[in-house]
Homo-oligomer: A and B are copies of this chain.
């Protein structure tokens, strides 16, 4: 059985070999960019129709295609504190601004959380006189603490 991790590696290899971008793959699948990326990296089950499309464009074998459809056990970081600088900066944001985000969610919504399940993510580029900027938007349903 091909694992989702092995399928993700096959995706990355094919993507590089074929010169495809995530944006092109998302367009092919007619799915959101960040969802497409995380699903092909193994963090979401891919619906059968999309898995078939992905397998076709990425020239994956049927085992890899089947693996894309599997339910994942999620969690993609090898270390509790990530070592890759591009990923670490978001951990640093949590260290510096975590309690700020918590205060503002509670002030604006009351006691509860931003869902990471009913959730979408976007990464985009913004031009600015001071240099181009990375804009990451996290958009999750507010879940109020309620007793059943």
Q: How many residues of A contact B (CB 8 A)?
A: 93
**Known contacts A83-B75, A88-B92; is A101 also within 8 Å of B136 by CB?**
yes
Choose among B71, B76, B106, B143 the residue that contacts A96 (Cβ–Cβ < 8 A): B76
CA A102 – CA B145 in complex, angstroms? 22
Closest to A131 in B: B141
* B residues near A70, Cβ cutoff 8 Å: 16
Choose among B33, B98, B137, B141 the residue that contacts A87 (Cβ–Cβ < 8 A): B98
CA A10 – CA B113 in complex, angstroms? 25
Contact between chains at A114 and B136 (CB < 8 Å): yes
A interface residue numbers (CB < 8 A to B): 1, 9, 12-13, 16, 21-23, 32-35, 37-38, 41, 43-45, 66, 70-77, 79-109, 111-121, 123-126, 128, 130-148
A to B CB contacts below 8 Å, 12 in the list? A1-B13, A37-B100, A38-B99, A74-B83, A74-B84, A74-B96, A86-B113, A90-B98, A108-B123, A108-B124, A118-B130, A128-B141
